[in-house]
Amino acid sequence: MNLRIFTLGATFLILSVIAVFLPTWIAAQQSDLQVERIGVSVTTTGSGIPLPTERIVIGGVILTVEVAETPTAQQNGLSGRSSLPADHGMLFVFGHEDYWEFWMIDMKFPLDIIWFNSTRQAVFVEPNLPPCTSQNCPVVTPTAKTMFVLEVNAGFVVTHRILRGISFVVLDQ
């Protein structure tokens, strides 16, 4: 009888531990898979949000890009920063193709923005976008559905001859 009670108690304890920790373990496994896919390096934005980084090649140039995959990271983007190193950018990764709109709210320096479809081919390019003013803050909408958006320093598109049809490649870490 005591063995039966002990067995039932141990089974209940094990099931309780599984019920409590299984969702956390599953989330960690999904997070690990995502980190494996997008890279292992992490940087911190001006807002304090840590973002993974990747190295990509576009137009023969290697860029280190911060990867914005969450809605918070995407909303914050590069806002509030005073500059961006010449060989850096921010890559916005969306879960599906759509007409992803961008604006230059709270920006302190001009950017080139490049929109890519799901095959990483550029479908829309907007060079030299100036920071917004409170009186004038236009929203830029691509003419085609996109899944990735790359923000780089203004002048990058012209200097490196980035045109529609060019693709980017993610380098292995």
pLDDT in tens, the chain (173 residues): 555 554 444 444 443 434 443 344 334 443 333 333 333 333 444 445 567 999 999 999 999 999 999 999 999 999 999 999 999 999 999 999 999 999 998 999 999 999 999 999 999 999 999 999 888 999 999 999 999 999 999 999 999 999 999 999 999 76
C-alpha span between 57 and 94 (Å, rounded) = 19
- What is the model's pLDDT at position 51? 78
Query: For the range 32-41, what are the long-range contacts, defined as Cβ-Cβ under 8 Å and sequence gap of 24 or more?
Result: 34/69, 38/67, 38/69, 38/93, 39/67, 39/173, 40/173, 41/173
Task: From residue 93, give the alpha-carbon distance in Å to each of 34, 41, 65, 71.
Answer: 12, 16, 11, 10
Sign of the dihedral defined by the CA atoms of residues 14, 15, 16, 22, in that order: positive
Yes or no: say if 120 and 169 are a contact pair by the CB < 8 Å rule. yes
Task: State both tokens at 41.
Answer: 């390096």
